[in-house]
A = this chain, B = another copy of it.
Amino acid sequence: MEIRKAESYGFCFGVKRAIKIAEELKDATTIGPLIHNNEEINRLKKDFNVKTVDGFEELGDVKKAIIRTHGIEKQNLEKLKKSDVEIVDATCPYVTNPQKIVEKMSKEGYQIVVFGDREHPEVKGVRSYSVTPPIVVASFEELKDKNIKKKVAVVAQTTKKISEFQKVVDYLTSISREVRVFNTICNATFENQDAVRKLSCEADVMIIIGGKNSSNTKELFNISKESCYDSYHIENESEVCKDWFKNKKFCGISAGASTPDWIIESVISKIKEICV
């Protein structure tokens, strides 16, 4: 069986940057997981003493706090800045961008629409920057019972599918007089999605590796399923199952933006081992 990795996959710029920050700073604490990958979080804890607390309130007397790649709520960042903790901001610049847009546009009187998962940490951060109540929707259908103003500004969670974002934009265009569309989906997301779309058309089994809580990995998995019925979303090599590869000729591999290479390689080794 041939095994081929997608042309673009895995770690994005923002994740690489955050890991480098955490490794260099050492002994720091992140509020919420730095990235959405448990294995990598464990490695950082073991090798660089990077701890994770669930919420802002649990920081206790830590000296160095890292803001996770997804960012945090504006009010929490402000509280943090007033405390004695040394703050290092590892928010991905592609996430800081929609935060700034939402703040500016809401101040200018635009109704804010955020296309994303309401409880995803990135979206919680982004929507907290709106000075007026923002509308958060996970699909264009959810807009139908919302009271939308004539002037709207719309941003997307960085890891969303462009085609779903376009549906949101289409709906807004049909009911509002002015829609300011900020395509805040990040390029790495685009590239990984394009590559998985291509590969899943050729492969007869697809393995998508990444955290089960990783939004961008879930999107890769959704795209993969569209063309390849036998698509599987796993976190690490322990989940690989022999049955998946029975009578298969071509296995495609992709991984979310927070999946480190060492996990991808261990999955590939496991598949090779199993298929011998």
A residues within 8 Å of B by Cβ? 162, 165-166, 169-170, 172-174, 176-183
This chain: copies in complex: 2
**Which B residues are in CB contact (< 8 Å) with A166?**
169-170, 173-174
Report the Cα distance A260→B177, complex, angstroms: 28
Kindly provide the distance from the CB of A259 to the nearest chain B CB, expressed in whole angstroms.
26
Q: Which residue of B lies closest to A166 (CB)?
A: B170
Please name the 6 residue pairs, one residue from A and one from B, whose CB atoms are nearest each other, closest first. A179-B181, A166-B170, A180-B180, A173-B181, A178-B182, A173-B183
Q: Chain B CB within 10 Å — which of A162, A165, A174 has the most?
A: A174
User: A4 to B234, alpha carbons, bound, how many Å?
Assistant: 60
Do residues B170 and A176 form an inter-chain contact, with CB atoms below 8 A? no
Q: Is the CB of B178 within 8 A of A173?
A: no
In whole Å, how far is A185's beta carbon from the nearest beta carbon of chain B? Answer: 9
A174 nearest in chain B by CB position: B162
Provide 29 A-B residue pairs closer than 8 Å at the C-beta atoms, listed in order of the A residue. A162-B173, A162-B174, A165-B173, A166-B169, A166-B170, A166-B173, A166-B174, A169-B169, A169-B170, A169-B173, A169-B181, A170-B170, A172-B181, A173-B181, A173-B183, A174-B183, A176-B183, A177-B182, A177-B183, A178-B180, A178-B181, A178-B182, A178-B183, A179-B180, A179-B181, A179-B183, A180-B180, A180-B181, A181-B181
